[in-house]
Chain A
């Protein structure tokens, strides 16, 4: 369904005409995250009532625990925390856990740091999608992104830093393959292509939810973007070239083999911009992040929603020109609340997680149909989430000196293999045979299921205070964050008790652990 493109034009052009220095719209008091959660639930209750949808029930504690851990800190919880959470009988335990994962900086867990690292990975994956060498080089953006998320820098300010980043006049010709700690946001322009065209393409897609790439060579086939729109945006980035990320004055660009020169103009407006002494990219980001620019906030909200719920509020988070006005109502309202909350990411994430909507069971979708709005769908773990979860479940050492998988190549091998089949859409499972074989027979799994080398198996099987049932429960908690149901326990423990010798029984546990690590439940999030 193609929405009238003129609406975006009105929004975008309207802003540019009004000028960015105009008085900010009157603000209302910022909601608390609990109020935001309630708002979300009320809003969707109405939607569901109208479409006569009865939403699924709220999930049990164990499902919530694994879900919120994976979504916020990108890993499954440690056994001890899972036990504690499941046993706790006080009130507000879900809200407290969400707060803890988002904001708790205390050692040893350093929850907020892990959460920041996970969201840096998610954001990097969206900014430079795919599995090209450039996409891999974009990993070097993560330290910078992590700092932003860890400090909860308002989203508009984070994007401002990124869009106006410079490489200090130095060429960034070479991209370090394993750059760690290199944290210049200017790297972004390099990895997306290092040209004004690629910068315009990437920035409008990522931050405004508009795909204008087709208009580079010809007028857009189904939206109203013209080559003028594309090159008008590209002109803002005319200082991005030959590996140097800088500003150019005047902001003009002439495409290769073209006689026409284009002056910087906001998307949808063919009026050359007045920079009033500011750099071209500052002028652009003023316009992008001005409070009235609905597309900027809506795109951000949509991307957060995608990662928490499994799909965006609209079908494509990269292309807000597609949905109809009706399909965008709630998204636009939430976007306005986000602007009112001064682009507070932690507030947005926390509010969504605290809603009942977030905590409901995933909707059953056996066919290729679209799920009703606001209902969760089963998600596939990202390559990093798979590694983090294995690291947690297998109790792998994390220090370099201990031969940690983070440093000895096993992490890199797993992530690179999984990346070959990773999707940008959380609802898609795309892994192929090489990925399955790696999880079945690769080194990490081999060590994890070896009675001498597996830390988890040794810890569980050698513990004199655990009976057979408790041993199984511990393996379940380590990998799946839940306690096995009675029928599962019976089936699996039958397998153990068929053996008489203790070493055969241990071998049976190793086989069970292998099956758990290779189960769909381990690589999917329900």
Chain B
């Protein structure tokens, strides 16, 4: 697959400016560029704590395990989901529910690492990259002013989500909305992007001007890879400050009605920010909704969370569609595990990795369907088990990345994107050609 980079474009326009007539390959390249698929992205809606499948996407109405949760019909006849997700139900044609995910980690920390890397933690002593870093590497545009991987108000059990052995180029840029003030929480921003209050614009310009002098001077006498890396990174950070991150964070540019429909929660506004970042070419955005660890008072908690989840997620789908971005953006909804179908003594549900749900949408996902089922009681996978490697293979396939692709660890070991034996869930996505692409360096 030939992807035209900005540099190629520059060469092409240079060629035409110089009046060079190109024959053969070049016109074809121009046409290819015009028809080139737009930038691809992945948005992960991370449900920290482990959402209850029985009260969201795999209801057991009428069975004691179902509890008080009621279902509604979705836009796709025969598919029913929670009554607290009416917006999502309307978008069901875009969504594929996997009800038969089965994993083997029931501890928050280990399960988070499993779901966010696709590998069991500590396996073979490899520091596995997270999903975000993997896709940042596969889909990221090197010439982008923004980082490839942005994580909006991350909250996770344990230390996952990092770039692992892929290194800091693929580390998430963390966007915080950390404040107890519910209004301020929605004012998402990049840590330390804004110069401190009280320093004038003029003074900031002076700082960078002086800085440039010191840097140029240093680079005259010191030639090293590290010095080059410092320069490149400093300039990117400076550009981020100068362009205020290409304005991606100016949520107030959006119509108030659209902001309302995303929901004025940190999660809702995070989904809006995700769309703005995807528009600007960011490869991977993670938006977190935490609080799903409902060992007690499960039903009230899930209702409250659903009321934040539903407007954010459903508006994200419709907004991406309106902007023509849905076909190039994969949306993944998941947590670290599901919750026990059986209701515990404190009206809660406990950790349950054996049979649970995840939802995919957008990009190459064939929506409007359910894969697998968990029987009447929801206690085990009755049909079509999907393992973590299968899920990862399916994510890759949905966004057109070959699951065969390997990254090379610092020890020189080839580490596949998808753990050995992973099979694409063919009902959901078509496996892309397995020809190994040349590795991006």
A contact residues vs B (CB 8 Å cutoff)? 130-133, 136, 193, 198, 201, 211, 213-214, 216-217, 319, 362, 364-368, 377-380, 420-421, 423, 427-438, 440-442, 446, 450, 488, 491-492, 495, 507-508, 510-512, 514-516, 518-521, 523-524, 526
Contacts and interface: CB of A to CB of B under 8 A. Distances in A.
Interface string B95-106: 000000000000
A421 B207 contact: no
B277 to A, nearest CB: 14
A427 B233 contact: no
Contacts of A131: 159, 162
Given A131-B162, A133-B159, A378-B227, A434 B218 contact: no
B191 A515 contact: no
Nearest to B196: A446
B207 A428 contact: no
A133 B147 CA distance: 25
Contact of A432 (B168, B210, B222): B168
Interface in B102-130: 109, 122, 124-125, 127
Contacts of B122: 193, 198
A77 B207 CA distance: 25
Given A441-B195, A450-B198, 17 more contacts: A364-B224, A365-B224, A366-B223, A378-B224, A429-B230, A432-B173, A434-B171, A436-B234, A441-B241, A492-B210, A508-B206, A516-B214, A518-B211, A519-B215, A519-B218, A521-B214, A523-B230
Contacts of B236: 433, 436
B201 interface: no
Contacts of B229: 428-431
B234 A441 contact: no
Nearest to A445: B196
Contacts of A136: 159
12 contacts: A131-B159, A133-B158, A214-B124, A214-B413, A365-B225, A377-B224, A379-B226, A429-B226, A431-B230, A441-B195, A441-B196, A515-B210
Interface string B405-440: 000000101000000000000000000000000000
A291 to B, nearest CB: 30
A456 B92 CA distance: 62
A433 to B, nearest CB: 5
B203 interface: yes
A377 B167 CA distance: 21
Given A216-B124, A495-B206, A431 B214 contact: no
B226 A428 contact: yes
Nearest to A423: B167
Contact of B219 (A436, A442, A520): A520
B237 A437 contact: yes
B191 A130 contact: no
B168 A420 contact: yes
A390 B162 CA distance: 26
B210 A511 contact: yes
Contact of B207 (A214, A377, A511, A521): A511
B192 A437 contact: yes
A378 B226 contact: yes
A378 B293 CA distance: 48
Interface centre among B147, B168, B190 (most CB of A within 10 A): B168
Contact of B125 (A213, A362, A433): A213
- In the A-B complex, the 3 residue pairs with the smallest Cβ-Cβ separation, listed nearest first, are A436-B237, A421-B168, A429-B226
Nearest to A379: B226
Contacts of A508: 206
A132 B237 contact: no
Nearest to A214: B413
A196 to B, nearest CB: 14
Nearest to A431: B233
A364 B236 CA distance: 24
B169 interface: yes
Nearest to A371: B224
A200 to B, nearest CB: 11
Contacts of A514: 207, 210-211
A442 B195 CA distance: 8
A441 B237 CA distance: 11
A430 B167 CA distance: 7
Contact of B171 (A378, A420, A436, A440): A420
B203 A511 contact: yes
A441 B194 contact: yes
A438 B192 contact: yes
B36 to A, nearest CB: 27
Contacts of B231: 520
Contact of A430 (B168, B173, B223): B168
Interface string B10-43: 0000000000000000000000000000000000
B193 A441 contact: yes
B432 to A, nearest CB: 28
A365 B218 CA distance: 14
Interface string B371-389: 0000000000000000000
A198 B122 CA distance: 9
Contact of A524 (B124, B214, B230, B411): B230
A216 B217 CA distance: 51
Which of A423, A519, A520: most chain B CB closer than 10 A? A520
A427 B127 contact: no
A428 B192 contact: no
A293 B321 CA distance: 67
B219 to A, nearest CB: 7
A521 B193 CA distance: 23
Given A436-B233, A437-B192, A437-B193, A427 B224 contact: yes
Most A CB atoms within 10 A — which of B198, B227, B411?
A: B227
Contacts of B191: 434, 437-438
Contacts of A133: 109, 158-159
B75 interface: no
A480 to B, nearest CB: 10
B170 to A, nearest CB: 9
Given A421-B168, A427-B226, A433-B233, A515 B190 contact: no
A399 to B, nearest CB: 26
A245 B306 CA distance: 46
B174 interface: yes
Residue of A133, A380, A511 ringed by the most chain B CB atoms within 10 A: A511
B168 to A, nearest CB: 4
B214 A519 contact: yes
Interface in B141-189: 147, 158-159, 162, 167-169, 171, 173-174
A386 to B, nearest CB: 13
Contacts of A201: 125
A213 B125 CA distance: 7
B225 A429 contact: yes
A225 to B, nearest CB: 13
A431 B168 contact: yes
A366 B222 CA distance: 9
B150 to A, nearest CB: 10
A520 B226 CA distance: 9
Nearest to A198: B125
A141 B64 CA distance: 52
A435 B240 CA distance: 13
Nearest to A512: B210
Contact of B222 (A214, A362, A420, A507): A362
B190 A437 contact: yes
Given A508-B206, A511-B206, A520 B222 contact: yes
